[in-house]
Amino acid sequence: MPTLFRELAKLCEQLGSTTKRTTKLRWVASFILQLDLNEVEPAVTMLTGRAFPKREKRVLDVSWMTINTLIRRMVDADNRVLSKAYSQAKDIGEAAKIIFEIGKMRKQALLSEKIMTILEVRQMLTTIAEATGSGSREKKERLLETLFSSSSPLETKYLVKILTGEMRTGFDEGLMEVAIAEAFKLPLTLVRTANMLRGDIGEIAYLARSQGKEGLKRLRFTIFRPVKPMLAQMASSVTEALTKHEGSTALEYKLDGARVQIHKSMSDVRIFSRRLTDVTESFPEIVQLVRDEVDADEAILEGELIATAENGRPRPFQHLMRRFKRIREIEAMAKKITVQLYLFDALFINDESLIRNPYQARRKALKQIAGSIPLTKQIVPLKASIAEGFLKEALEDGHEGLVAKRLDSPYTPGVRGKGWLKIKRILEPLDLVIVAAEYGYGRRHGWLSNYDLAARDEESGEFLTIGKTFKGLTDTEIVNMTKRLKRLKIKEERGRVSVLPRIIVEVAYNEIQKSRKYECGMALRFARITRIRDDKSLEETDTIQKVREIYAGQFKRHH
């Protein structure tokens, strides 16, 4: 019997009601087991806050502004009622539920409620995504109105969350891997490896259900399907890194650029950002370089792109971001902002996976096929004094610092392990999300220039504010930021605009203080934005748990 979408919505509501990990896992594993085979992928994808599988290029192309305008029109509530709903709600999905409960009579008059299944919701979302060309906006709005009118307020809450990618039930992809393993009695390591190879948790759930352990074991790297990058933890000094790696480590320049994953199959080359977005068209000169120089029929390589000045020194990160965003006049921009590729790892070469090989062996294999493409500068230090000198050299050359890579470490996609350690001279900046902004005064009148900064709570999925800043952006960046924030506006009152958490910024600060001002009990001191991180995803933002660790570390040092 087809599973109703309202059952998925009820599950999501349950997940948001508890922080108990074991309880969440039990609920989700039980739900997955009850699904029909063809419902598994759509359900798992929706539960993790997406409308479609990651592998698909299909997008809804529906802005929050469109959804907000439609809700207002359907309910026909005045601004006072709407403002109250947004004030009471923790997020926009909850606000939509409250608004539709208030306007339930009008909504039912529009269209009698139809009981929709999970597959019918997926089909409706697909139809919305496929509406393109002239008149597509109006068609999308009509389809959305049908979708909302056919659902209860609770279903509407989670439809809005799926449409905007704002699920926030505290049940992330890592927990979904555990739930799949428990539901189908599979080793967790196998599920995680399979998800790394495919990069799509919905597909892994489908394969686990339909083919079991053997199906997941058969998975291999697939060229042009990017995998999650291995991540690094922070080390306070080269001495700490050498100690943690027991002296068996390679130190490499940490370049101030953008990480990329490069896939090559014969003459076909594609470049993916760290968010696994295809950015091939933005870098035609890099495509040609890889095509000419990489001596392998098939390869998956990792590297760093940096913008360079005429003297070869790195230019600020924001120059590079202009290349990533460019979709027109690419050749002219390539001449204006030159980029340099440095390679640093090899995951796959000529039908052989290298991720279980030690880093030292992967680096050697990379060097053999890289041709004239430079590898990140590296030493294997025997003494701490040599390592300190190398760090000083990296900073003087205009780079961020070093990455220490344990020589025997395997490649662990998507995992922030101790195999790689970042080393910088200053407090590590935090990647935070702008959740609100206020209009400035004087010269900044009319611009949203004072920003509320939030960290992600791993348990609840919410973004908790930990500080404000009006420092760091240029006038041009503030103007552009104002335009972006207005498109993400949820509500506005007394000069303060609450927005969808979409824009990620790197934030420097002097220290973290105890504070009653914010719910989390902490606040950043002297926060300032150092860069806009459009290359990062929300899942890569720093967590409130990490902020608490940094705060505790400060407390120990001060006492």
Whether residue 213 lies inside any domain: the answer is no
CA angle 516, 518, 520 (to 5 degrees): 95
Same domain flag for 319 and 466: no
Q: In this predicted structure, what is the pLDDT of residue 397?
A: 87
Same domain flag for 454 and 401: no
What CA–CA distance (Å, rounded) separates 392 from 503?
33
Same domain flag for 253 and 370: yes
**Out of 191-195, 210-214, 405-409, least confident range:** 191-195
What CA–CA distance (Å, rounded) separates 467 from 515?
10
Of the candidates 423, 454, 473, which is a domain's last residue?
A: 423
Work out the pLDDT band at 327, boundaries 50, 70, 90.
low
What CA–CA distance (Å, rounded) separates 355 from 347?
5
Give the active site residue among 54, 161, 228, 254: 254
Digit-coded pLDDT (tens) for 158-185: 999 999 988 989 899 999 999 999 999 9
Candidates 336, 332, 330, 363; CA nearest to 347 is: 363
Work out the pLDDT band at 302, boundaries 50, 70, 90.
very high
Same domain flag for 367 and 250: yes
Candidates 416, 411, 413, 412; CA nearest to 428 is: 416
Length of the chain in terms of residues written: 559
Whether residue 225 lies inside any domain: the answer is no
Whether residue 176 lies inside any domain: the answer is no
**Out of 118-122, 271-275, 331-335, least confident range:** 331-335
**Out of 194-208, 318-332, 489-503, 524-538, least confident range:** 318-332
* Averaged pLDDT of the chain: 90
Whether residue 395 lies inside any domain: the answer is yes
What region does 133 belong to: left with phi over 0, alpha with psi -120 to 50, or beta?
left
What CATH number is given to the structural domain containing 414? 3.30.470.30
Average pLDDT over every residue of 219-248: 91
CA 253 to mean position of chain CA atoms: 24
Same domain flag for 470 and 489: yes
Sequence-ordered list of residues with C-beta below 8 angstroms from that of 198, at least 6 positions apart, any chain:
55, 204, 219, 222, 225
Whether 103 shows a pLDDT value over 70: the answer reads no
Whether 536 is a known active-site residue: answer no
Q: In this predicted structure, what is the pLDDT of residue 426?
A: 66
Q: In this predicted structure, what is the pLDDT of residue 366?
A: 98
Of the candidates 138, 164, 190, which is a domain's last residue?
A: 164
Query: What are the helix and strand counts (H, E) for the chain?
Result: 21, 19
pTM for the model stands at 0.82
Q: How many domains does the chain have?
A: 3
Same domain flag for 393 and 481: no
Work out the pLDDT band at 277, boundaries 50, 70, 90.
confident
Beta strands in 310-462 (DSSP E): 339-349, 352-353, 378-379, 401-406, 416-423, 430-439, 448-456
Whether 107 shows a pLDDT value over 70: the answer reads no
Whether residue 199 lies inside any domain: the answer is no
Average pLDDT over every residue of 334-352: 93
Instruction: Give the H or E element holding residue 154.
Output: helix 153-164
Same domain flag for 484 and 372: no
Work out the pLDDT band at 559, boundaries 50, 70, 90.
very low
Q: Which two tokens stand for residue 215?
A: 């199906």
Q: In this predicted structure, what is the pLDDT of residue 425?
A: 67
Q: What range does the domain containing 274 cover? A: 231-423
Same domain flag for 440 and 545: yes
DSSP string of 504-543, one letter each residue: EEEEE-SEEEE-SSSTTSEEEES-EEEEE-TTS-GGGSPB
Dihedral angle at the C-alpha atoms of 352, 357, 363, 365, nearest 10 degrees? -30
Same domain flag for 390 and 345: yes
Digit-coded pLDDT (tens) for 495-504: 899 999 999 9
Whether residue 201 lies inside any domain: the answer is no
Give the pairing type, strands 504-508 and 511-514: unpaired
Q: In this predicted structure, what is the pLDDT of residue 208?
A: 98
Of the candidates 405, 423, 441, which is a domain's last residue?
A: 423
Whether 77 shows a pLDDT value over 70: the answer reads no
Same domain flag for 248 and 390: yes
What CATH number is given to the structural domain containing 469? 2.40.50.140
Q: In this predicted structure, what is the pLDDT of residue 555?
A: 53
Average pLDDT over every residue of 326-354: 87
What CA–CA distance (Å, rounded) separates 353 from 193?
12
Candidates 88, 11, 64, 2; CA nearest to 38 is: 2
Work out the pLDDT band at 523, boundaries 50, 70, 90.
very high
Q: Which two tokens stand for residue 108?
A: 């039912």
Residue 63 near residue 23 (C-beta atoms within 8 A): no
Average pLDDT over every residue of 141-168: 92
Work out the pLDDT band at 113, boundaries 50, 70, 90.
low
Whether 485 shows a pLDDT value over 90: the answer reads yes
Digit-coded pLDDT (tens) for 459-481: 888 899 999 999 999 999 999 99
Q: In this predicted structure, what is the pLDDT of residue 404?
A: 97
What CATH number is given to the structural domain containing 96? 1.10.3260.10
Placement of tokens 């993400």 in the chain: 488
Whether 318 shows a pLDDT value over 50: the answer reads yes
Q: Percent of the chain, pLDDT > 70?
A: 95
Digit-coded pLDDT (tens) for 355-411: 999 999 999 999 999 999 999 999 998 888 999 999 999 988 888 899 999 999 999
Q: In this predicted structure, what is the pLDDT of residue 64?
A: 84
Whether 109 shows a pLDDT value over 60: the answer reads no
Work out the pLDDT band at 428, boundaries 50, 70, 90.
confident
Residue 422 near residue 428 (C-beta atoms within 8 A): yes
Whether residue 276 lies inside any domain: the answer is yes
Q: In this predicted structure, what is the pLDDT of residue 494?
A: 81
Q: In the beta sheet, which residues pair with residue 469?
A: 451
Candidates 187, 264, 230; CA nearest to 411 is: 230
What CA–CA distance (Å, rounded) separates 38 from 389?
58
What CA–CA distance (Å, rounded) separates 81 from 237?
54
Same domain flag for 70 and 34: yes
Whether 288 shows a pLDDT value over 90: the answer reads yes
What region does 411 belong to: left with phi over 0, alpha with psi -120 to 50, or beta?
beta
Same domain flag for 30 and 74: yes
More confident call, 115 vs 481: 481
Instruction: Give the H or E element holding residue 148.
Output: helix 136-149
Q: How far is CA 331 from CA 58, 347, 360, 365, in A?
A: 27, 30, 37, 33
Whether 325 shows a pLDDT value over 80: the answer reads no
Whether residue 250 lies inside any domain: the answer is yes
